[in-house]
Amino acid sequence: MDSNRLKCSSILLFFSVFLFPAMVVAIGVNYGQIANNLPSPENVIPLVRAIGASKVKLYDADPRVLKAFANTGVEFIVGLGNEYLAKMRDPDKALDWVKTNVQAYLPATKITYIAVGNEVLTFNDTSLSDNLVPAMQSVYTALVKLNLDKQVTITTAHSLAILEASYPPSSGAFRRDLRGCITQILNFHVKTASPFLINAYPYFAYKSNPKQVPIDFVLFQPNSGIVDPVSNLHYDNMLFAQIDAVHFALASLGFNKLPVQISETGWPSKGDQDEAGATLENAKKYNGNLMKLISQKKGTPLRPNCDLSIYVFALFNENMKPGPTSERNYGLFKPDGTPAYSIGFTGNIVANTSSDGPSTSTVKPPSAQSPPSAQSPPSATLPPGSSSTGYLSISSATGRLQFSSIGLFLCLLGFIELAFYTIQSLF
């Protein structure tokens, strides 16, 4: 590493620490790389640490990233792209892939999951969907042969567009045309003790109907919320409603105990004129309040005792992603490594990211809130065939802020001292 690169890395870490203060909240983050201006994987490590992420989700098995993160303790989901599904039906090819892309990096790099395909079912392409379960089975068999099945788990991520209904959450149901394939996937999850992954974006529901969907409901801001007329459960944010709609859909097929993880969720900081809500302030509120929620280790109304496992989308703005402007502006960081906005963590609480300034106020419990709005949000699902982000995503983990104010202060002093001596040595 040359001196200029080391200097840049040190300064970026020093700067990022103050906009993403040292928060030990075990979150996950999606690390997409559809861009030509991103920092090297070595320079990404301090950025991941600066936001307190302990889990990273890739959309491939990039050897540069996996080598760079060796011995960091960061857990990885590696991706096996949709274009490889047909080949992975062949057990020998699956075995070769696992040896090359997973076994070669263990145990130094902590690979814990392989995501086989991404949002396969909502491409409405039978050449993909017919190969999904056989590919998952072949890769799992390869893990068993290599005695890696106890440390690496097989799963696949889905778009919310696999749901036929999602509002109210108790009506959650999978699309009828997909139930056969989904049932096979769910049986695989039960057999291998692996979680069901869903990419959930309240932003899309708001964007499609901003006049009907209350902005505070999607941004985790204080609001009266809604009550599910069947379950009588109260929801004060759309993400929880979406997650529980998935739980209800699973229960309708007899899989009510299957764990659910959110493999992607996020909010764009910029969009086109017709992309309602895609602003820096809303992205700051969504991701800041989301991380606060994760740190509180609170479950959803239907699963209050289950820790949330969520991967934020995404680590960087990616300048080569196709589609509307919003697709290139989901990042927590700009390509130069500076934060896209401050998320507002302070000590062992997360400040409320409202435009009125930091606040430690929390959403009132249902009993203390005003009656639910008569204007209920529409279905939180995406239209069939939509794909939220192509092959990209963000991370998750159950999180807890473990630093007290004193601990945070000492940690910051340590970073300042490290940055000072590192920079001093360069001049």
Give catalytic residues, as residue numbers: 119, 264
Residue pLDDT tens, the chain, 427 long: 444 444 444 444 444 444 444 343 468 999 999 999 999 999 999 999 999 999 999 999 999 999 999 999 999 999 999 999 999 999 999 999 999 999 999 999 999 999 999 999 999 899 999 999 999 999 999 999 999 999 999 999 999 999 999 999 999 999 999 999 999 999 999 999 999 999 999 999 999 999 999 999 999 999 999 999 999 999 999 999 999 999 999 999 999 999 999 999 999 999 999 999 999 999 999 999 999 998 888 899 999 998 889 999 999 999 999 999 999 999 999 999 999 998 853 322 222 333 333 332 222 222 222 222 222 333 443 332 333 333 222 222 233 323 233 333 334 434 444 444 344 444 4
Residues 6+ apart with CB under 8 A from 390: 34, 118, 119, 321, 322
Residues 6+ apart with CB under 8 A from 215: 206, 221, 277, 282
- The reported pLDDT for the residue numbered 4 is 46
- The reported pLDDT for the residue numbered 348 is 26
Residues 6+ apart with CB under 8 A from 218: 202, 203, 205, 206, 237, 238, 239, 277, 286
Radius of gyration for the chain, computed over Cα atoms and rounded to the nearest angstrom: 21
- The reported pLDDT for the residue numbered 415 is 43
- The reported pLDDT for the residue numbered 343 is 81
Q: How many CB atoms lie within 10 A of CB 132?
A: 21
- The reported pLDDT for the residue numbered 354 is 35
- The reported pLDDT for the residue numbered 344 is 54
Query: Are the C-beta atoms of 55 and 27 separated by less than 8 Å?
Result: yes
Q: Distance between CA atoms of 400 and 406, rounded to whole angstroms?
A: 16
116's tokens: 């086989």
